[in-house]
Chains A and B, each alone.
Chain A
Amino acid sequence: MLFNSVEFMIFFPVVTILYFLLPHKLRWFLLLVSSCLFYMAFVPRYILILGFTIVIDYIAGILIDKLEGSRKRIFLIISILTNVGILFVFKYFNFFNENAERLAHMLGWNYPVSSLTIILPIGLSFHTFQSMSYIIEVYRGKHKSEKHFGIYALYVMYYPQLVAGPIERPQNMLWQFHTKHSFDTKRTVDGLKLMAWGFFKKLVIADNLALAVNAAYKSPEAVSGLTLVIATYFFAFQIYCDFSGYTDIARGASRIMGIELMQNFRLPYFSKSISEFWRRWHISLSSWFSDYVYISLGGSRCAKWKWHRNLLIVFLLSGLWHGAAWTYVIWGALNGFYLVFALLTRSLREKLSHAVRLDRLPALQKFVKVFVSFNLICFSWIFFRATSFTNARFIIKKIFTDFSLSINFGSAGITRYQVALCCCVVAFLTAVQLLQRSRTLSEEIEKKPLAVRWGLYYAGLILLILFGVFNTSSFIYFQF
């Protein structure tokens, strides 16, 4: 079920009202059943996969908690192999198989393994990583295993974050399911506002930008290099609003029920470096890789070359996590390269900054850093958005060879109004985010008198109705 669907507009209030009407001991059951219905609205039979991993991880968690030493380790391995195995079969098998087939063909070998005809279950990477997080935390002794099967199943399946995160940790979620949450007016208002802002970001900003981005990326040969640059900037805002919009709706819906989900974005495009960007973008995934892969590999407390290798491994895996395609691998590798390059050139850059006296103008220095980081991130988004490596290569080549100043979205079927609307929504978002650097939008509005407050809410509602794209388009991160 999509958040931006009519079904959800009925589902959400019904579930929330029932949640508060039911006694606490029955709430987990309501949420679990609702989550099953929410998930089954996509492809019903895939709930079996989810059910299978839940049973395996639940049992493994209890046994890991009980056992010691190598026996404990066996169940950790069983659980991780099950999760990674399912992920591999459904998400990566065809990718590796096709590449192996291509390699075999190049070498003139016979390759008899055919690809699987399966659809990727929605949000598979998200709930698999959340399950693994539980098992690793239990194994590390940082969290006790959950004895209540229903609560554990709910931890994996909790509908607001089931299909696109945030990828939660057991220590943040499980206790919240056990705690009784009464209806709270302030919390409800906060939750509704967060949801409204999420819907606005998705329907007004992301989906309008998507029209221009899709048109330009679909036929890059028809548009100029400058148009592709603008489309790439638009995509940067589209993906941010699409994903953070989803997260806001998820967090808002959950907050109303008293269950707080972790923050996934903290104004990432204001980052002064790539490493800062990754601490502000998709925080739940970045921290997952940091806690369970990067640190396990030795993190930064090792030889320099190993540190750099660790960074590259983490970002390659992060790229692969996003999708089984070379474009995602390159996108991940490129971000890893940025980080390593930044580390290698840190002193040189500091010297350069000092030489041109940029360090004496902190505001300008900050602006330059934000500007450079943002553009590097935008460059990497080309690989993320392109339909194939060839497509990405063509777009990059065109950007760096076609210097005509014409902006011709029109040849891709986009009118000037649509381009102007895209510029307006980007400007609006930037203005709001500049405000949000010091305090939240909600706090800012809260200070105003009632008439102004309501006026602003009405304006938002009218903008949503007039400029929202209500064709129930899916969220980009659902495919991961």
Chain B
Amino acid sequence: MKIIKKLFLFLAVFYLLTQLSLIFLLPQSTVYNNRLNYDVFKDNVHAIEPTVKAIKATIDKQDLKEYIIFVGDSVGYGTPCPPDKTMSSYMNLLAAGKNSRVRVFNLGIPSSMFGDFYTVLLLLDKYGISTENLILNFSYWEINAKTPAYWLKHYLKDLDRNSYDAMVSRGHIQQESPLAAAKAELHHRLNSYFAAIGYSGFISNKIKLNANSLLNQPSSEIMVWSKKPKLPRTLNLPENRWYYSDKTFNLSESSPQIYFLNKIAEHQKKKNTLYFMNAMNDRLLNGATEKPGFQSNLSGIARCFRDRKLNYIDYNKKVKYEYFSDHVHLLPEGYEFMAQDLWKKIMLNKENPDAV
């Protein structure tokens, strides 16, 4: 049994060394640098938890009393711009310029929808991060999507079992086999209890970034949509037409997105919350957004928020065409413009909840 003891000791020393060094010595910026690290997250969704922990550590360290949480999709995240050229980063610059101690934390996740947004809020609750000030963005097509929680369904299962079960019983989330559930649970626990596993993606990503910069790796160019000749054809592919569909959206209670919108509204009751829909590039979409069906869906979405007495902004037609990098994502100038507008609105909304 000597070998078992030795093996146990070997692993225990490794565990202690990695836990202590990673938790206490790893810079928070390796984990959270102005936004969620999507490169790490897309390979391991459990990266969301160290990210939330890093935000919490920053809040505690800087003793922040007031901060804004940004939840949303790839537009909120800031695709295709670098982390310092997103709406949340520009809002932080604005705050710094005004000597305000308010900070904005970006938890936008590309390809996420209302179920994921809601789950992020629950995760923030779990770690004691206030959602008193919240900005939530979404895209037109997301409110009609059939997948409620694309990334974070295991967290949803953990944090709000009733909602998860409701989605499974409605067929919006596929029932897991016991083996798949056990595997997911094991993966979840390994990430939670072993810092070496939970943080490894962040460290290797940091090494990758540093090495690429050392080797002068050219960064991908951010281009205005009009300089992308293949874009109209790509958007016209059958699998991409749902982005600007003019078919009537299901905005009833049976929609999984509306189910989670209700959950979010309930969660954010009496809190300073701003919901907004991303602008769409009508010029690129060749008038698709002018179609009666599309317009009727826009009105339906607005009604949805109005009926629930939520502060909602539809940014369609409010963003210049030259600010777009594609059909919905923006260039740094676009995100800066949005940041200025959102800053004004969230601050105004804070002082006067009925103003927006």
Query: Interface of A with B (CB < 8 Å)?
Result: 6-7, 10, 185, 188-189, 410, 415-417, 420-421, 454, 457-458, 461-462, 465-467, 471
Contacts and interface: CB of A to CB of B under 8 A. Distances in A.
29 contacts: A6-B183, A185-B2, A185-B3, A188-B3, A189-B3, A410-B217, A410-B218, A415-B208, A415-B212, A416-B211, A416-B212, A416-B215, A416-B216, A416-B217, A417-B207, A417-B208, A417-B211, A417-B212, A417-B215, A420-B211, A421-B211, A454-B10, A457-B10, A458-B17, A465-B196, A466-B200, A466-B207, A467-B204, A471-B43
A349 to B, nearest CB: 42
Contacts of B218: 410
B235 interface: no
A445 to B, nearest CB: 14
Contacts of B215: 416-417, 420
Nearest to A5: B183
Contacts of A458: 14, 17
**SS class, residues of chain B in contact with chain A:** helix
Nearest to B179: A7
Top 3 A-B pairs, shortest CB-CB distance: A416-B215, A417-B211, A416-B217
Interface of B: 2-3, 10, 13-14, 17, 43, 179, 183, 186-187, 196-197, 200, 203-204, 207-208, 211-212, 215-218
A461 B15 CA distance: 11
Given A417-B212, A420-B211, A462-B196, 5 more contacts: A188-B3, A189-B3, A415-B208, A416-B212, A458-B17
A6 B208 CA distance: 26
B207 A461 contact: no
Contacts of B216: 416
Contacts of A188: 3
B14 A461 contact: yes
B203 A466 contact: yes
A10 B189 CA distance: 14
Nearest to A9: B186
A188 B10 CA distance: 15
Contacts of B2: 185
**Residue among A185, A454, A466 having the largest count of chain B Cβ atoms under 10 Å:** A466
Nearest to B218: A410
A417 B217 contact: yes
A6 B3 contact: no
Nearest to A453: B10
A465 B197 contact: yes
**Residue among A189, A410, A465, A471 having the largest count of chain B Cβ atoms under 10 Å:** A465
A467 B201 CA distance: 9
B200 A415 contact: no
Given A416-B217, A466-B203, A466-B207, A6 B186 contact: yes
A222 to B, nearest CB: 16
A458 B11 CA distance: 9
Contacts of B204: 466-467
A182 to B, nearest CB: 14
A305 to B, nearest CB: 55
A454 B183 CA distance: 30
Contacts of A416: 211-212, 215-217
A161 to B, nearest CB: 25
Contacts of A7: 179, 183
A462 B204 CA distance: 11
Nearest to A41: B179
A454 B11 CA distance: 10
A451 to B, nearest CB: 11
Nearest to A188: B3
Contacts of B183: 6-7
A458 B183 CA distance: 26
Nearest to B201: A466
Contacts of B3: 185, 188-189
Nearest to B184: A6
Contacts of B211: 416-417, 420-421
